[in-house]
Chain A
Amino acid sequence: MGDIVDIIIIGAGPAGLSAAVNAVTRGKTVRIFSNKENNLSKAERVDNHLGFYHASGKELMDKFKEHAKAMDIKIEEGMAVNILPLGESFMVNVNGEIFESKKVILAMGITKVKELPGEGRLLGNGVSYCATCDGMLYRGKNALVWDQSKDAWEEANFLQSIGVNVTFISKKPKQENLSNDIKFIEGTITEIIGENTVEAVNTGNDLIKTDAVFMLRDAVAPAALIDGLELDGNFINTNKHMETNIPGLYAAGDITGKPLQLSKAIGEGLIAAQHAALQIDKKENLNGRKY
């Protein structure tokens, strides 16, 4: 575990980068993690972001990244798996590595995570979101890896390498990177079956027996990421400072709800970062140390 940073930002779209830029401007140290292409870069044309008439989403995103880079902000590859509030600080598990910060800003965008029948009920009883976290429990057993992110093959290879008997199921044709020892099925999963623990999965036309299912998506649903987080449907509830019901945890951008627009995301990133920075300053002044 490295040194504690001021602010960890999850997501490097417009909201996350705006938060990072504003945190650094206020003299705060940040780490920013991202593991997917954001929605803005897919937008063909954006006409309502002031000062950038007729720009493509990709052009804008490139400019935002350039801006961040010019301020020495380094976007790190990684997906947050859990966040644990400890009162004065947070522990964040990014792909099995723990990072610590004083504040956390969630800016992952909208997560289209649709829970499968059986998934929530069997989570922790054969259903897992993290191969490096739970893999060792299934050594010598059968596990199914459901490919829903670009790194899923890596996790499947890891599981196979520690002695799990892996079957990889994907909508896409078999990738070269996937270990040859892994059984490959082209398809999808529609249901997870089991009374108290995972027994099988339904692929729509077949039942496959298995002891575990690793669901490796691009993002963990906010409710699974942090215990007790207040949501409104799929969105995270915040106050006017973009702070969630968990003190020190902020949310900004599409993840807080409509309108799902660039300018709003950038504004929210700024509000969250400035408020987080101010709270850190206040606390450190009270403690009589300033840096």
Chain B
Amino acid sequence: MAENIKIINSTQEFDDMIKQNRYVLAEFWAEWCTPCRMVAPVIEKVAEQYSGKINVAKVDIDEQQELAIRYGIQTIPTIIFFKEGKFASKEIGVKPLASFARMIDSNIA
């Protein structure tokens, strides 16, 4: 796993992460979700490609229900980009690398 990917174990940990890092891409997923398994390697690549620029959080919605409710996760995978601790943009479902790159580029310019 790329160095800038962090598995979130608590709400506090997530809040600290988006507070301490200017750009965070958070992937909301779950073990049983097939489309999430498709997106996982794409998120890995995104993390590598933007290493040093953004941080990536993986949030298991079964473990972190509070976060899932807070961000109104209704389908997974949902990928949310946070800028300076705030929601900036999101992508839902199975998307290729270019879609995530576009979302990130338009927010970190």
Out of B37, B41, B76, B99, which one reaches A134, CB within 8 Å?
B76
- The winner among A83, A91, A130 for most chain B CB atoms within 10 A is A91
Q: A228 — which chain B residues lie within 8 A by C-beta?
A: 96, 98-99
Could you tell me the distance in whole angstroms from the C-beta of A236 to the nearest C-beta in chain B?
17
- Which residues from A are CB-within-8-Å of B72? 196-197
Chain B contacts with A in 79-109, Cβ cutoff 8 A: 92-99
Chain B, Cβ-Cβ closest to A132: B34
CB-nearest residue of chain B to A246: B96
Give Cα A91–Cα B97 distance, bound, in whole angstroms. Answer: 13
**Complex Cα spacing A91 to B94, Å:** 10
Q: Mark B29-45, 1 if CB is under 8 A from A, else 0.
A: 01011110111011000
Residues from 35 to 62 in B contacting A, C-beta threshold 8 Å: 35, 37-39, 41-42, 61-62
Interface residues of A in 138-167 (CB under 8 A from B): none
Q: Pick the residue among B30, B78, B93 that contacts A136 (CB under 8 A).
A: B30
0/1 string, A81-110, CB within 8 A of B gives 1: 111111100010100111000000000000
Whether the pair A93, B94 counts as a contact (CB closer than 8 A) is yes
By a CB distance below 8 angstroms, the chain B residues around A85 are: 96
Complex-state Cα separation, A49 to B97, whole angstroms: 43
Tell me the interface secondary structure of chain A in the complex. mixed
**Chain A interface extent, by class:** 20 to 34
What per-residue 1/0 map shows which CB atoms of A108-143 lie under 8 Å from chain B? 000000000000000111101010111011000000
A84 touches B39 (CB 8 A): yes
Establish whether residues B37 and A98, one from each chain, have CB atoms under 8 Å apart when the complex forms.
yes
In the bound assembly, the distance between CA atoms of A87 and B34 in angstroms comes to 20
Within the complex, the shortest CB–CB distance from A242 to chain B, in Å, comes to 21
Tell me the smallest distance from the CB of B69 to a CB of chain A, in Å: 11
B64 → chain A closest CB, angstroms:
14
Besides A124-B74, A134-B76, 19 other A-B contacts (C-beta < 8 A): A82-B35, A82-B94, A84-B39, A84-B95, A85-B96, A86-B41, A86-B42, A91-B38, A93-B38, A97-B34, A126-B74, A133-B33, A136-B30, A137-B61, A137-B74, A197-B74, A227-B96, A227-B99, A228-B98
